[in-house]
């Protein structure tokens, strides 16, 4: 984002030394380091939550797809059962009609 050259970095160090003194610099560096570590940990936690959420969404979608497939198969089975039932009814009606015809022979 911002490009800091060697001369600019050296100038910043001199200004920090003049403002805070050499005895405060290690303490400031440690505090800055801890802050950077906390920021990094928070960023990693957020990334982890986003990935978990995406995985959960994928799992939910998979279960929804499986449910839709099962429902589709059940509907297909119900339709097949209905057709089989109708065919059996027609067979029974034909057999009922053939009974009197066979007796007449």
Q: What is the pLDDT of residues 18-39, one digit of tens each?
A: 888 888 888 888 998 999 999 9
- List Cα–Cα distances, 56 to 2, 42, 49, 69, in angstroms: 38, 21, 10, 20
pLDDT number for residue 72: 67
Task: Taking residues 63-83, report their average pLDDT.
Answer: 71
What secondary structure, in 3-state letters, does 22-64 show?
A: CCCHHHHHHHHHHHHHHHHHHHHHHHHHHHHHHHHHHHHHHHH
5 within a domain of the structure (yes/no): no
Give the domain extent around 75: 24-104
Residue with token string 């290690």: 26
10 within a domain of the structure (yes/no): no
What value does the mean pLDDT of the chain take? 79
Task: Please say if the pLDDT value at position 48 is more than 80.
Answer: yes
32 within a domain of the structure (yes/no): yes
38 within a domain of the structure (yes/no): yes
Task: Please say if the pLDDT value at position 66 is more than 60.
Answer: yes
6 within a domain of the structure (yes/no): no
User: Number of structural domains, the chain?
Assistant: 1
79 within a domain of the structure (yes/no): yes
pTM, 2 dp:
0.44
69 within a domain of the structure (yes/no): yes
């Amino acid at each position: 984002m911002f490009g800091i050259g060697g001369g600019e970095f050296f100038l910043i160090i001199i200004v920090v030394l003049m403002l805070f003194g050499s005895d405060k610099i290690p303490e400031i560096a440690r505090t800055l380091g801890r802050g950077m570590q906390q920021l990094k940990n928070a960023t990693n936690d957020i990334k982890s939550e986003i990935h978990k959420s995406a995985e959960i969404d994928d799992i939910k979608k998979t279960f929804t797809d499986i449910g839709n497939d099962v429902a589709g198969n059940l509907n297909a089975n119900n339709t097949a059962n209905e057709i089989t039932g109708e065919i059996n009814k027609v067979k029974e009606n034909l057999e009922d009609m053939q009974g009197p015809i066979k007796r007449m022979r």
